Amino acid sequence: MLSPAPVPQAKPFLAAAGQFAGGQDTPRAYLERCLETLAAWEPKIGAFVCTNIEGSRAAADASSMRWRDNKPVSAIDGMPIGIKDIIETADMPTGMGSPLFDGWSSGRDAAAVAALREAGAVILGKTVTTEFAATEPRGTRNPWDPGRTPGGSSSGSAAAVAAGLVSAALGTQVMGSIVRPASYCGCVGFKPSVGGINRGGSHDELSQSCMGVLAATLEDAWQVASEIAARAGGDPGYQGLVGPLRMPPPARPQRLVFLETAGWQVASAEAKKAIQKSLALLSRNGIDILTRQSDQLVGAVEEAIADARALSIRINTWESRWPLNTYRNRDAGKLSRAMLARLAQAEAMSLDDYRADLDERIRVRALYESLAAQCDACVTLAAPAAAPVGLSSTGDPVFAVPFSLLGVPAISLPLLREQGLPLGLQVTGFQGKDATTSAIAGWVEKHCNE
Amino acid sequence: MLSPAPVPQAKPFLAAAGQFAGGQDTPRAYLERCLETLAAWEPKIGAFVCTNIEGSRAAADASSMRWRDNKPVSAIDGMPIGIKDIIETADMPTGMGSPLFDGWSSGRDAAAVAALREAGAVILGKTVTTEFAATEPRGTRNPWDPGRTPGGSSSGSAAAVAAGLVSAALGTQVMGSIVRPASYCGCVGFKPSVGGINRGGSHDELSQSCMGVLAATLEDAWQVASEIAARAGGDPGYQGLVGPLRMPPPARPQRLVFLETAGWQVASAEAKKAIQKSLALLSRNGIDILTRQSDQLVGAVEEAIADARALSIRINTWESRWPLNTYRNRDAGKLSRAMLARLAQAEAMSLDDYRADLDERIRVRALYESLAAQCDACVTLAAPAAAPVGLSSTGDPVFAVPFSLLGVPAISLPLLREQGLPLGLQVTGFQGKDATTSAIAGWVEKHCNE
């Protein structure tokens, strides 16, 4: 008789690290458990492009000594972390999911990676990304069902975290690249306010792109983000992630807005039912929930974000003109058809077209921000359904893209189920209010998990 | 008898290109004149890190054919251009003035370089930059006096343009790196509004850094900037340089503000006299000129920008924490003492310190912008005096740094003389008003040159 397939299980870190100080556990032992999981799962899911196991062991040993001496350099000292492969690492190549960059090494760490190393984290490897963090998948499989996509573009980060190969991983999101794979793989995905984490050395130079974290728990995700921000800040010229190092305690919201988004039209009946059940739980807990039906401003926001996908695509397309043009010049045969098509679209746009799109984004952002006077945060689905079958697409970002356009914090919580598979409940906040959003997400998590 | 030392002479392009259409001249012949000048001057001034002469000849030949066929792709088709060596080029290494990047090649063109090639420009070579576009000079000499600095950090760009080795060159400015060398070398320096030209692939990722142009004439500088912006836009999320492709005609200002800046205290008597003479000429032409003595708001702005240097240094220092930390990890011996000291200062700062500095910058910017209701533009010196003797420092950026902090367009016009050497008159405008600022600079140039 075959043993049943193992269930993917993420590895919380902060909770486990409580054992490090007392010596019952060590970062090295923790890492070895990750490596065992890696050996078991990696052949099935293909989450990593490459790993640095010897380097990780050395880093974990150094961390173990610090914990033994009661001198951890941060709360994430010893945490095994995966790095999306568009983000530079000094000890491993950065392939960007493109044959053009196969084996390419910058010889330096990205700002976030340098900060993680300063904080004592253990950089285990580079996680699979779609081509240039866009749409072309690179073979990673969903740990819940290897016949399904893990989502993208942070495909390997989500799969690796969900199956416990690492405790957390860096991702980036310009459309739905953190929230969607977090939803599909059943881990927490945290996309901060735009500019919240320094993107230096991360090759996603689009104006609404944001670096974020996939992790086993919300507390872990927050801690990774805050430890990076404390050392590397946000993007140049931005305040950087605002909030304490440790996640603030769960905070009861007074009022939430439920946003259908354009995703409602394509969400499965089961997914709709799942979020409606959560909303009912929140209501039962005395939370006032505004909807497009009950509130005019919410209706106006829904209308303004209905076009988020098309608007985001246009903005991203213009901003991708470079470097795609120079990559096409180098070797067009190494770009996917999707990338070549995007470049052709970019070349058909003018700077004036782009300016009009930026103006529209400013308008939509201002309208959404006006909701802040009415509510503490918004909730919606993180995806229309569970991960779709097949590896040729990373799925539909429709529920994530409005919040990428808006540049606001967005958190996918692995609270829902669809077809017996993970589905995220998404909590979104307002620009710069990442700490509040996390605290509310913490409360929602607690009260929708009953 | 020795022949007198040749006088550096810049090579205007737009004026010359009038001859291309009729066939009296060709881009290839124009390039050959640049190459002759290069052969004569380069050994004396050391403006280039490397050149691609064969590639340039091929590009100039292709351009010559387009002009012959009456099909130039832009007004700068065939223009020989130098690229500051922190800006990536597919055909030449990008050394960043650092032994850490000696011979390093990204294999791709920066956004601005790709745009220039699309516009038919001839990319002749990489011009010398100080170490990482900061303070450590790399040996370029001033063409007016090889015992003096050309200024920095766009040292080679200014020297090469002033002596006619190329018609124009790309530079970048975060403190005074375009305006100061333009002043010292006697060419036009144009630093657009922050974000005006796409910095993709340019390694100056600081929030008040801006790409700009050094050129023989104001019209040439504008055209280069506008042709780039039309094809590559500004920094992601920014409007990009706003204005027509061809520089607007000179426009008479109604009222100008004369800003002393903190530079007035260190300006030479001769420099002060020179700008005062210009102000007198403007007055005589009926221009109303406000000063700190005559206007309270101007006084408040003077006070707010008095600390521009210290504030800019703090902002730049925090933002330089990365990548300097990863470079130090790689090989500290290949960083200058100045860079190591900057990194140590960055590591002594906190994100909160930086946020306070950003807030102060926002305050100063808003105050300066309120001047826009009172005047059309501001004028001041571009440097306290002519280029100082010696090559160990690139001189004092005191007159340029306020406008870097403010993120506003700044133009250095080679109108003044000090010790018989070039000195710039600086015209500055308001954010996004680059076209207006250029048009006023054009008028000032005409009326202060009498």
**If you write DSSP's letter for every residue of A228-260 in order, what string do you get?**
HHHHH-SSTTS----S-SSPPPP---SEEEE--
Testing the interface with A: which of B242, B326, B360 to mutate, by most A Cβ within 10 A? B326
| pLDDT tens-digit series, residues A136-188 | 999 999 999 999 999 999 999 999 999 999 999 999 999 999 999 999 999 99
Q: What is the mean pLDDT of chain A?
A: 97
Quote the minimal CA–CA distance from A23 to chain B in Å.
Answer: 31
Q: Which residue is it, tokens 């499989």? A: A141
Domains and CATH numbers, chain B: 14-232 (3.90.1300.10), 310-357 (no CATH)
Please count the helices (runs of H) and the strands (runs of E) in chain A.
14, 11
Quote the minimal CA–CA distance from B355 to chain A in Å.
Answer: 6
Give the residue-averaged pLDDT of B335-341.
97
pLDDT > 70 fraction of chain A, expressed in percent and rounded? 99
Instruction: Let me know: does B174 contact B206? Beta carbons within 8 Å.
Output: yes
Strand pairing category for A377-381 and A168-173: unpaired
Task: Return the number of other C-beta atoms located less than 10 Å from residue B216's C-beta.
Answer: 24
Residue B5, pLDDT > 90, answer no
DSSP-derived letter for residue B411 is: E
Q: Do B114 and A325 lie within an 8 Å CB cutoff?
A: yes
The reported pTM is: 0.97
Q: What is the ipTM of this complex?
A: 0.96
CA angle B360, B366, B367 (to 5 degrees): 90
- Give chain A positions within 8 Å (CB) of B172: none
Rounded CA-CA distance A450/A447 in Å is 6
pLDDT value, residue A449: 76
Q: Check if B329 contacts A (Cβ < 8 Å).
A: yes
| pLDDT tens-digit series, residues B156-196 | 999 999 999 999 999 999 999 999 999 999 999 999 999 99
With bands split at pLDDT 50, 70 and 90, how would you rate the model's confidence at B3?
low
Rounded CA-CA distance B87/B93 in Å is 10
| pLDDT tens-digit series, residues A16-32 | 999 998 899 999 999 99
Residue B449, pLDDT > 80, answer no
pLDDT value, residue A301: 98
- Give chain A positions within 8 Å (CB) of B111: 321-323
Q: Check if B239 contacts A (Cβ < 8 Å).
A: yes
Cα B189 versus chain centre, distance: 4
- Give chain A positions within 8 Å (CB) of B240: 351, 354-355
Active site residues of B: 84, 153, 177
With bands split at pLDDT 50, 70 and 90, how would you rate the model's confidence at B74?
very high
Question: What are residue A87's DSSP bridge partners?
Answer: A202
Asked about A177 being catalytic, the answer comes back as yes
Give the residue-averaged pLDDT of B36-61.
98
What b-and-e string marks burial along A281-302, b requiring 16 or more CB atoms within 10 Å of the CB?
ebeeeebebbebeebebbeebb
Question: What amino acid is encoded at B216 in this protein?
Answer: A
Instruction: Let me know: does A86 contact A209? Beta carbons within 8 Å.
Output: no
Question: Does residue A342 come out as left (phi exceeding 0), alpha (psi in the -120 to 50 range) or beta?
Answer: alpha
Give the residue-averaged pLDDT of A81-109.
97
| pLDDT tens-digit series, residues A242-259 | 999 999 999 999 999 999
Q: Check if A103 contacts B (Cβ < 8 Å).
A: no
| pLDDT tens-digit series, residues A418-446 | 999 999 999 999 999 999 999 999 999 99
Rounded CA-CA distance B226/A42 in Å is 50
With bands split at pLDDT 50, 70 and 90, how would you rate the model's confidence at A6?
confident
3-state secondary structure of B209: coil
